[in-house]
Each structure stands twice: as C-alpha cells, then as structure tokens.
C-alpha cells in the first residue's frame, strides 16, 4: 500500500458504511468495518425464514443519480429483475391507489364523501395566510382537511407516535413534496409528472435486498479490507479534537487515520468524551422510533397483488403489510406466502416490551380483521425487532440537530453518515450516496457536505435509471 493510503475504521455495515468501505478498499485504503449484528446490510438485510428469503420490510431500490446506479450495478451485476410496483392504501376494507387517482377515490369513498372532500379541498384552496409549520397544516393546505384526515393522519401518527401537529413540516417536504390533489387530478386526466418517489418499476436483486450488501462485503474482503460482524462498538476515540480510532465493547482500542460512523447519532455523541453541555442537552431531544415486524406464513399463493399496503384504518394497529410473494420468484421456494406486518413503538411502550407470542397473536388478529387472507391457514409466525430505525422529525428537531452537526463537523477525521448517523429519513439510494461522498472526502480530499444529502430533493448530477438491460438516461420532466 502506498504511504498516502491511510487506514479507515468504519462503524456499521449498512448501505452507507459498506459503500464507503467498498470504494475506499478499491483505492487501496486499509479498511476495517465493524458491525454489531451477525449479518451485514443493516435495515436492508435479507433473512431466511421458512425456507424462503424475506427482507426487513419492503426495500425497493430506485435512484436518478448516475453514481449511485453505477455502483449498484457494479455490485449486483445482472442478478436482478425489474419489478412492477403496486402499492395501495388499505382503508375500511377498500383499496385506494397511491398516489390518489380521482376515479378510484370516487368509487371507494362514494359520492357523498367525495363531495365533502372536494368542498374541503376547495375551501382550503381559497383560504389565504395559512402558516404551514407542521405536517398537518402542510398536507391540509394541499388536500383539504377531510382527505388529510382519511389518507394521512392515521398512518402518520401510527408511524411517528406523535400528533401530526407536532410532526415537522420537513417530513412532508421530504416524502410527499409536490404531491397534491390538483396534481393528482392533472396527472390522471392529462398525464405527465407524477411523484418522483412513486416509480412504477424498480430493480430488485434475485437474492433479496441483502444480496447487494453481502456482495459488497465480499468485494471489500477481496480488496484486503475487513468486515467484522458480531462486534459492537463502545465509542469513537477523540483526542485533541481529532478522531483517533474506535473503542470496542471489550475496551480494546483500534487506531485509524480516519473514522466513519453510521451508529445512531445520539449514541455517538453520548459516548464521546468532552462533549459540551449544550450539545448533550440537544442530543436528549432527538428521538428514534422502533419497528416490530411480525412475519406470518400463510397457506397458499395469490393473496393480494401489492408489493405492500399502507394501512390507514384506525382499528388496526399495523401500519404496513408487505407481501413477499410479489417481488421476485427466486426468493419464494415454497407454496406459501410470507406477509410482514409492521408495528411501530417507542422503547418504553408496552408493544416493544411484549413477548413474541403476544406480538404474533396481535398480528394474526390484525390480518384476520382485514379480510385479506380469507379462510387461509396461518401456519407460523416470527418476530423481528429493529431499534431506533426511524428518526422522528418532531417540530424543532432541526434546531437541535444543527448544533450537534456543527460540533461534530469540528471533530477532524470523523464523518457521520447513514440514516442513523445523520438523523435523516434516508432511502437506500441516499445512504449509498452518503457513502460515495464520504469516500471522496477521504480519498480525494474533497469537502462534500454530507448533511446536505436528502435535503436538496431535486439535486442529481445526471438523471439516469436502471432498466433490465442496464443504465439508461432518463428524461427530466
């Protein structure tokens, strides 16, 4: 290795951490990746269950960024299929297109409720001076209160565990920007446009989403890097304002020239030495939400055609149901269907502390209430828990996060990336891009601002997309 090639310690083997490690290892850097879990992939891992493969929730990959797409194809090769995306809203026993389409919404809501929704929308359109400083006001302004109450309120409050009036407007801007009733009507009748994140087709690896990151870990090892699983990290070692290395849970210190952290930003800061009191105080105000996934093995196939359903019915506790039969046939080796029901909670909630038997029973009752499986038998159940997986965009979070970011930026040789690390509601492509930019900062002495990823929603170097035959340029609307 050249004298210029420095050592890099990376905490976390999810999309962001592995991407940075892979690119740095290709350039000859001495790279060590530490992962607390026994498997790589983070939230994007794939697990074996009842002789089938399932992901940790639905993970469709899509990006417009050439750099991200080229890296994905480099790692996956030709071992993927294009999957037609179908996701709908399940509300009071009926299926609503997502995004909303006028005819479908009219048929399901009926003429009376549709008229009320349109009147509510019209009233809101002619109301001036509404301050959109929270999720509820932002969505209401664009849809009217009745549509907000039907299609946004229940699901969002299940997910975040707080009233929508306490959810920052940033979440709306990030996840449903430009999606409005006006645009839905315009696109339905005149075509064009569409919401960027609601693509009709996406690339999916034949071995499940986790295949991407298993392949990436193998390539890192081929490049003489290390991916060390089952190894929790105690803290990042900082001396004289510089990150010097990583302290393992055993107390052993590993020294590096640069450190990249994808651990939850709250844990990172809380375990560092000499943190100013005002930064510590801000960290206490950042909250993560947990996920409990209950997998149910259902007898038979062809239960419903969606990749996943958003559950907006308030009488059901689950918020999303994924049907793994509808992704690629390569992950389904039996004649059964695995459904994944997601429940969200805080660490001190009764749900999070419940035993597996109780959670499986809860999921069984919910799926039977939906009527989705009819009289099909539920053969088995399994529980998977994901702590701290959703950064909560509670009002005021940006002010708290800004001070923490400024303090972390002052620590030399340390970069903080990923959904957990940056406290951003990233998709896979955002985290991969963070890994790319972090590697450039080390290898090429660039000064990429990693905090800006997934904030400038329209920013792409060149608009491309992955097709069955590879990378293609994409027309920009």
Nearest residue to 105 via CA among 191, 175, 194, 188 = 188
264/420 Cα distance (integer angstroms): 4
Average pLDDT of span 401-418: 97
pLDDT for 105 equals: 85
Looking at the predicted structure, is the pLDDT value of residue 196 above 50?
A: no
Candidates 285, 253, 255; CA nearest to 395 is: 285
Alpha helices (runs of H) in 327-473, residue ranges in sequence order: 350-353, 356-370, 397-409, 418-422, 428-443
Q: What is the pLDDT of residue 132?
A: 83
Residue 322, H or E segment: strand 320-323
Mean of the pLDDT values across residues 276-292?
97
Q: Which of 259, 257, 256, 324 is nearest to 296 (CA)?
A: 324
Averaged pLDDT, 213-225: 98
Contact assessment for residue 89 and residue 313, using Cβ atoms and an 8 Å cutoff: no
pLDDT at 126: 80
**Nearest residue to 476 via CA among 460, 463, 461:** 463
pLDDT (tens digit, 9 = 90+) per residue, 349-406?
Answer: 999 999 999 999 999 999 999 999 999 999 999 999 999 999 999 999 999 999 999 9
Helices 428-443, 66-76: crossing angle, 10 deg rounding: 100
Cα pseudo-dihedral 7, 11, 15, 16, rounded to 10: -70
pLDDT above 60 for 135: yes
Report whether pLDDT(431) > 50. Answer: yes
**In this model, does residue 46 exceed pLDDT 80?**
yes
Is the pLDDT reported for residue 178 higher than 90? no
Domains plus CATH for the chain? 7-85+203-278+395-456 (3.50.50.60), 99-190 (no CATH), 288-391 (3.90.660.20)
pLDDT digits (tens, 9 = 90+) for 57-77: 999 999 999 999 999 999 999
Q: What is the mean pLDDT of the chain?
A: 91
At residue 476, the pLDDT reads: 47
Task: Name every residue whose Cβ is closer than 8 Å to that of residue 401 and which is 6 or more positions away in sequence.
Answer: 282, 286, 423
Alpha-carbon span 247 to 256, nearest angstrom: 11
pLDDT at residue 99 in the model? 76
Mean pLDDT of 158-179: 85
- Three-class DSSP category at 267: helix
pLDDT in tens, 299-347: 999 999 999 999 999 999 999 999 999 999 999 999 999 999 999 999 9
Sign of CA dihedral 186, 159, 265, 279: positive
Helix (H, G, I), strand (E, B) or coil at 89: strand
Mean of pLDDT values over 97-114:
87
CA–CA separation, 345 and 368 (whole Å)? 22
Of 30-34, 191-195, 460-464, which range is least confident? 191-195
Q: Spell out the alpha helix ranges (H) of 4-63.
A: 15-26
Strand partners, 416: 261
18 and 48 Cβ atoms separated by less than 8 Å: no
Tell me what pLDDT residue 128 has: 67
**Measured distance CA(44)–CA(47) in Å, rounded:** 10
The model's pTM is: 0.93
**Window from 110-119, 222-231, 430-439 with minimum mean pLDDT:** 110-119
Q: Give the separation between CA 107 and CA 14, rounded to whole angstroms.
A: 43
The span from the CA of 141 to the CA of 135, in Å, is 10
Band the pLDDT of 459: cuts 50, 70, 90: very low
For residue 128, give the 3-state DSSP assignment.
coil
What would the pLDDT profile of 83-104 be if each residue is shown by its tens digit?
999 999 999 999 998 877 878 9
Residue 129 pLDDT: 62
Asked if residue 394 lies in contact with residue 165, where contact means CB atoms within 8 angstroms, the answer is: no
What CA–CA distance (Å, rounded) separates 47 from 54?
6
1 pLDDT band, cuts 50/70/90, is very low
Q: Name the DSSP class of 104.
A: H
Instruction: Specify burial of residue 379 (Cβ count, 10 A radius: 0-12, 13-18, 19+).
Output: middle
> Is residue 50 within 8 Å of residue 78, measured between CB atoms?
no
Token pair of 23, please?
């690119």
Query: What are residue 258's DSSP bridge partners?
Result: 8
């Amino acid at each position: 290795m050249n004298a210029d090639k420095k050592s890099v310690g990376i905490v976390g083997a999810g999309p962001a951490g592995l991407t940075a490690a892979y690119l740095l290892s290709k350039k000859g850097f001495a790279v060590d990746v530490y992962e607390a879990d026994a498997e790589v992939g983070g939230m994007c891992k794939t697990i074996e269950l009842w002789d089938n493969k399932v992901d940790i929730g639905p993970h469709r990959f899509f990006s417009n960024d050439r750099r991200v797409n080229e890296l994905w194809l480099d790692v996956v090769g030709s071992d993927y299929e294009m999957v037609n995306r179908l996701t709908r809203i399940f509300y009071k026993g009926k299926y609503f297109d997502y995004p909303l389409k006028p005819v479908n919404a009219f048929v399901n809501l009926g003429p009376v409720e549709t008229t009320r929704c349109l009147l509510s929308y019209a009233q809101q359109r002619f109301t001036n001076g509404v301050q959109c400083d929270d999720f509820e006001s932002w969505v209401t302004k664009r849809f009217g209160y009745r549509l907000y109450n039907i299609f946004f309120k229940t699901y969002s409050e299940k997910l975040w565990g707080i009233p929508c009036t306490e959810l920052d407007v940033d979440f709306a801007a990030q996840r449903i920007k430009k999606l409005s009733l006006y645009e839905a009507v315009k696109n339905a009748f005149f075509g064009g446009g569409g919401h960027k994140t609601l693509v009709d087709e996406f690339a999916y690896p034949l071995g499940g989403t986790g295949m991407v990151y298993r392949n990436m870990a193998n390539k890192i090892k081929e490049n003489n890097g290390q991916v060390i699983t089952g190894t929790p990290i105690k803290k990042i070692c900082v001396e004289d304002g510089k990150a010097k290395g990583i302290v393992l849970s055993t107390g052993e210190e590993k020294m590096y020239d640069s450190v990249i952290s994808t651990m939850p930003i709250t844990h990172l800061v809380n375990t560092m030495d000499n943190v100013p009191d005002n930064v510590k105080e801000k960290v206490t105000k950042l909250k993560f939400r947990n996920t409990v996934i209950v997998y149910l093995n259902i007898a038979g196939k062809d239960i419903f055609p969606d990749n996943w359903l958003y559950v907006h019915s308030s009488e059901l506790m689950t918020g999303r149901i994924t049907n793994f039969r509808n992704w690629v046939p390569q992950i389904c080796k039996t004649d059964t269907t695995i459904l994944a029901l997601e429940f969200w909670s805080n660490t001190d909630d009764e749900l999070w502390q419940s035993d597996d038997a109780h959670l499986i029973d809860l999921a069984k009752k919910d799926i039977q209430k939906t009527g989705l499986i009819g009289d099909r038998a539920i053969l088995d159940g399994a529980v998977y828990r994901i702590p701290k997986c959703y950064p909560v965009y509670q009002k005021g979070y940006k002010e708290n996060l800004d001070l923490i970011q400024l303090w972390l930026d002052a620590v030399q040789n340390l970069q903080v990336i990923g959904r957990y690390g940056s406290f951003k509601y990233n998709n896979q492509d955002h985290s991969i891009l963070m890994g790319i930019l972090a590697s450039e900062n080390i290898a090429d002495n660039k000064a990429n601002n990693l905090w800006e990823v997934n904030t400038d929603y329209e920013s792409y170097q060149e608009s491309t997309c992955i097709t069955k035959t590879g990378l293609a340029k994409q027309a920009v609307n």
